Amino acid sequence: MLACRAMADDPKLPDDWVRPGPAGVRPYVPGRPVEEVQRERGLEQVVKLASNESPFPPAPEAVAALEACSADQRLYPDPGCWELRDLLAGRLGVTTAQITVGAGIDGLIKYLGILALGPGDALAMSWPSFVQWRAVAGIQGARVDAAPLASDGSCDLDGLLAAIRPETKMVVVVSPNNPTGAAVESGDLDRFLDAVPDHVLPVLDEAYFEFLPAGGHDGAALVASGRRLAVLRTFSKAYALAGLRIGYLVGPEQLSQELARVRNAFDVTGPSQVAALASLRAPGTGLAERLDLIRAERERVRAGLEDSGMTPLPSDANFLFVPFADEGEAAGAIERLMAAGVIVRGTGPFGAPEGVRITIGLPEENDRMLAALAASTG
């Protein structure tokens, strides 16, 4: 039996086999899975408010479409994602050729890095921000020029401009910014795009686009108006399809053609295409109401945290960032929440400032989180 066999020594890789780029990258640290925490702590109920997932299930139409296609997975999926790209193009007012679908924004970030970044190149971004942008530069052996955030936690666009050098290939604006939550103003974004030098491709990570208030920026509309930029959106957050790994890029047609060189042949599964299509076609009722509920809960949670003496940063997304004085305080809050069965995200992996990022859940989940924090600070 396998379990009884003595384990052989695990063979080692040759010295210096991994390139210096990836060798210097820290592996992504995901939020702890619910089942693991449940088992470890002997808790009956565990709430995960750690990965900015939707607290709601996907649209019923998406679930039905997934079930209907489940027995029919014999063939490779459509690598061109034509139906989805056509539908998105019509909705966004861009051409189908301006859209590339990928295995989440994450997959598209990798492709952008492979296309544009190598040793000697640079990527400019704010920090702390979405760690995968920093990682892809490292993997490719390119350097990261990090600009501090504005005081509200949004990207400091002037700081980003100042970080651009002759070697810079991309300047990345994550808005709303993760882990902090605030978005840049749309007028400021316009002025920023005007000022980005010609040798740089501006990239706008709009993972939380659907949560923006009226009057917020709209990267796809900027592309439709002829702006040269790449915009990234996802079905993982507002559409509650994080498990399926599907997102898209809107940008110049030439960028789509270049991305086609490096894409995996069949990187977007059939079921994810089916579910994304069904989500977009689902009648307008569900999504808007759910987004409203999450926004209302976010402000209720903010008030609750403030009552307990905390000062969350402004947020235009489905999460709040609570700064703490030091690492110890943040770790203490995370541990007390964990003991109460609430998983949140420490920002150690994101770098300073020390803090806790809390995803907005269902009202009862948020209450449980607030109660645990109030008990520990009061």
Residues near ligand PLP (CB under 6 A): 52, 104-106, 130, 174, 178, 205, 207, 234, 236, 242, 247
Nearer to ligand PLP, 21 or 247 (CB): 247
The CA-CA-CA angle for residues 55, 315, 281, to 5°, reads 45
Concatenated DSSP letters of 345-375: EESGGG-SSPEEEEE---HHHHHHHHHHHHH
Least Å from the CB of residue 145 to ligand PLP: 19
Nearer to ligand PLP, 239 or 341 (CB): 239
Nearer to ligand PLP, 53 or 188 (CB): 53
| Nearest by Cα to 46 from 36, 31, 57, 56 | 36
- How far, in Å, CA of 237 to CA of 90, rounded? 22
Least Å from the CB of residue 348 to ligand PLP: 17
- How far, in Å, CA of 312 to CA of 370, rounded? 13
Least Å from the CB of residue 238 to ligand PLP: 11
Sign of CA dihedral 268, 207, 129, 326: negative
Nearer to ligand PLP, 132 or 366 (CB): 132
- How far, in Å, CA of 185 to CA of 289, rounded? 24
* Burial class of 186 by CB neighbour count within 10 A (0 to 12, 13 to 18, 19+): middle
Residue 349 and residue 356 in contact, taking contact as beta carbons nearer than 8 Å: no
- How far, in Å, CA of 114 to CA of 127, rounded? 22
Least Å from the CB of residue 165 to ligand PLP: 24
- How far, in Å, CA of 245 to CA of 268, rounded? 8
- How far, in Å, CA of 22 to CA of 26, rounded? 8
Least Å from the CB of residue 325 to ligand PLP: 25
Least Å from the CB of residue 31 to ligand PLP: 11
Nearer to ligand PLP, 106 or 297 (CB): 106
Nearer to ligand PLP, 32 or 336 (CB): 32
Least Å from the CB of residue 375 to ligand PLP: 29
Concatenated DSSP letters of 115-147: HH--TT-EEEEEESS-HHHHHHHHHTT-EEEEE
Least Å from the CB of residue 241 to ligand PLP: 9
Nearer to ligand PLP, 231 or 333 (CB): 231
Give the CB-nearest residue to ligand PLP.
104
Cβ partners under 8 Å of residue 338, min gap 6: 37, 41
Nearer to ligand PLP, 275 or 370 (CB): 275
* Burial class of 265 by CB neighbour count within 10 A (0 to 12, 13 to 18, 19+): exposed
